[in-house]
Amino acid sequence: MPTTSEKSVPPCPLPLAGLRVVEFTHMVMGPTCGMVLADMGAEVIKVEPVGGDRTRRLLGAGAGFFAMFNRNKKSIGIDLHHPDGVEIARKLCASADVVAENFKPGTMTRYGLDYASLGPQHPRLIYVSHKGFLPGPYDHRTALDEVVQMMGGLAYMTGRPGDPLRAGTSVNDIMGGMFGAIGVLGALIQRGISGKGMEVQSALFENNVFLVGQHMMQYAITGKPAAPMPDRVSAWAVYDIFTVKDGEQIFLAAVSDAQWLTFCEVLGFADLKADTRYATNNERVTLRPELMPILRERLALRSAAELTQIFESAGLPFAPIRKPEELYDDEHLQATGGLADITLPDGVRAGQTAQTTLLPFTMDGQRLTVRSSPPTLGEHTTQLLGELGYDAAHIKKLHGDSVVA
């Protein structure tokens, strides 16, 4: 009998296999939508300018954008300012189940590539737009993740009072793309019922408002405005970052009365356990100004490693404070296949291998993985043009005239 390790692993489910997506996207929001669909098996064709998506060349905080959000895709470079380029783009759209875009309002309309132009000709087409704002008084504004975090309450909630601070990652861009993909999946189900496509719209601002909706609801229920997270009244007494031995930091929590008792037992705090003033969570929250200094003083004598062992053994919530680069060495990610190799397409490390993070769910017990690395500019142009009916001579001329790359 074969051992478990010798048994063949079934192929990863690809529920969107056979679906063609043409995306006119850049930066993070639109590419995230395409990546989700691509990871689930769709053929996603990224249309880039002949000079390449400028996201390929970003520095600093943007250096990882292209490699992160464009795996499992094909690339074709098209000059949409040239009539022949627009014709190619329209033919591609005619072959697609889904068209995705995230350019400024009016951009796709100029080329006849908006839903109003394509939908009547292709009634089964699903068209997903990613914008700063859904149609309304703000839809003419230029939006960025930072813009909507500031105007949508997230920066206020993240920073200290009087010091609004954007979240440390592109939360609205990434989630906005995910909501675009969710909308596409719903539209695909509806198309299977009615035979008709539809337009889906996702927006940064509305995504941000959804993220802070819990704080809006808190105000609606209590009549009290939500305070910024660093200044909030916590729902739990022990739920904080502690500076411990040698200046290390660790997050520790006890969010129920049972956990409080365990917390006191495993740390040897018999006096706190016996103190009836701390018997319930709400009483501990009320007395937090006097309780927390006691805990901080005592825990400062313990090392982070010791506390990790104690809390893990006791089943109490805890977390080391890590930097993103330290996650490459995370034993859980390594053991569960949460990271996958890609070949970098651009920059000083082009052609070298790096690890990327996968979608955070399984299907049939498996992670959706990388089938192809982020494409080089125009890597699939010749192949795709051939599929659209262009012969070799015509393709050569299009390249020579810089209509395609």
Q: What is the pLDDT of residues 361-373, one digit of tens each?
A: 999 999 999 999 9
300-343 pLDDT per residue, tens:
999 999 999 999 999 999 999 999 999 999 999 999 999 999 99
Q: Does the structure show a pLDDT above 50 at 1?
A: no
Residue span(s) of the chain under CATH 3.30.1540.10 come to 234-324
Confidence band, pLDDT 50/70/90 cuts, at residue 391: very high
Name the pLDDT band for 231 (thresholds 50, 70, 90).
confident
Taking the alpha carbons at both ends of the chain, their separation in whole angstroms is: 54
- C-alpha 390/C-alpha 371 separation (Å) is 27
The CATH number of 234-324 is which of 1.20.120.420, 3.30.1540.10, 3.40.250.10, 3.40.50.720?
A: 3.30.1540.10
CATH of domain 10-212+335-400: 3.40.50.10540
3-state secondary structure of 377: coil
Average pLDDT, the chain: 96
- Is-contact 375 73, C-beta < 8 A? yes
Kindly report, as residue ranges, where domains of CATH 3.40.50.10540 are found in the chain. Answer: 10-212+335-400
Q: What's the average model confidence in pLDDT over 117-130?
A: 98
Between 3 and 47, the more confident residue is 47
Q: Give me the catalytic one of 79, 114, 173, 346.
A: 173
Per-residue pLDDT band for 8 (boundaries 50, 70, 90) equals low
Q: Give the three-class secondary structure for 399.
A: helix
pLDDT score of 5 more than 50: no
Pair of tokens at residue 353: 């291998």
What are the two backbone dihedrals, phi and then psi, of residue 81, each rounded to the nearest 5 degrees? -85, -10
Contact 317, 262 (CB under 8 A): no
d(CA 206, CA 193): 28
With DSSP H G I counted as helix, E B as strand and the rest as coil, what are the percentages for the chain, rounded to 5?
A: 45, 15, 40
Instruction: State yes or no: is 173 an active-site residue.
Output: yes
